[in-house]
Amino acid sequence: MSGRSANPGRMQDADGLYSMVAVDQRDSLRTMLAQSGSVPVTDDQMREFKVKVARALSPVASALLVDTDLALQPILDADALAEGCDLIVAVDAISYTPQGVAQATALRKDLLDAAWDERVAGLKFLLLWTPGQWLGCDQAEVQQFIDEAARAGVDSVLEVIVREADGSPPSSGRQAQLLVEAAKQTAPLGATLYKTEVPYRNQASSEDVTQASALITDSVTCPWVVLSSGVPGGQFPQAVQRTARGGAQGFLAGRAVWRNATAIPEQAAARYLSNESVATMAALREALRAGRAGHVDA
């Protein structure tokens, strides 16, 4: 498969770049909300927070990544999705260690036959890649995801996080090497958008991060974007600029944009999202444009 987008122009901003927000977090979001002192965190509280994020940030995002359990229908029912912001739906099931670290993923095959709302432009499948395999699923499952997305006429967004063979997170230097290996292995499967980590978790020189990003660009057959996990929120705009200089075409960020809103009361959270989080998105878009301006296509 070619990796060509099923929806040319969708999920992209006016510059043809990807400035996207993730709010598909499940157990990790529940843990963040619990830190504000509201324990236990109910499903309704999770839904309300995701709707707040959609209402505040979809006007400044090219796409919003949501889950089906707690976000998709509540956001649509609340009419919280701004016109021009597309939806990406997560179709992965994630299992965690007692410490809250993702240890395996599987494809939600029960969702593959769903009749998606017309605002859904893509489906997303998270993979934990370790040399030679994926933790919790196999290549046939990954290919099924890509093929079923194509059949449904939506994009296939493949999110890849790298791990060592024992499932542990690699060191920063090793992580950059594994990101390139993972891109080379998964590219032939034909996803239409590739999402992965910032090389070195941005804990290296600008030249090193950009060079590793260029190697990822050379390895994939579709556009790719970076996620914010693993990078301190204050550093993420810099990381976006560095990776864009190496060929990344955007970002799909969650907690780097809205995490601080989980630790404050509900009314204050809505104000934070509408002000500070919107400002963060503007800074990220500026960093993305600056990085792309410095990128030279091969």
Of the candidates 30, 123, 113, the one whose C-alpha atom is nearest the C-alpha of residue 72 is 123
Determine how β-strand 133-134 pairs with β-strand 120-130: antiparallel
Q: Give 115-161 as a DSSP string.
A: ---TTEEEEEEEEEEETTEETTB-HHHHHHHHHHHHHHTSEEEEEEE
- Is 195 catalytic? The answer is yes
**Sequence-distant (≥ 6) Cβ neighbours of residue 222 within 8 angstroms:** 3, 4, 5, 187, 191, 192, 193, 194
Inter-CA distances, 292 with 92, 223, 296, Å: 31, 13, 8
Which DSSP letter does residue 8 get?
A: T
Which DSSP letter does residue 167 get?
A: S
One of 50, 52, 124, 195 is an active-site residue; which one?
195
- Report, as residue numbers or ranges, the catalytic residues: 195
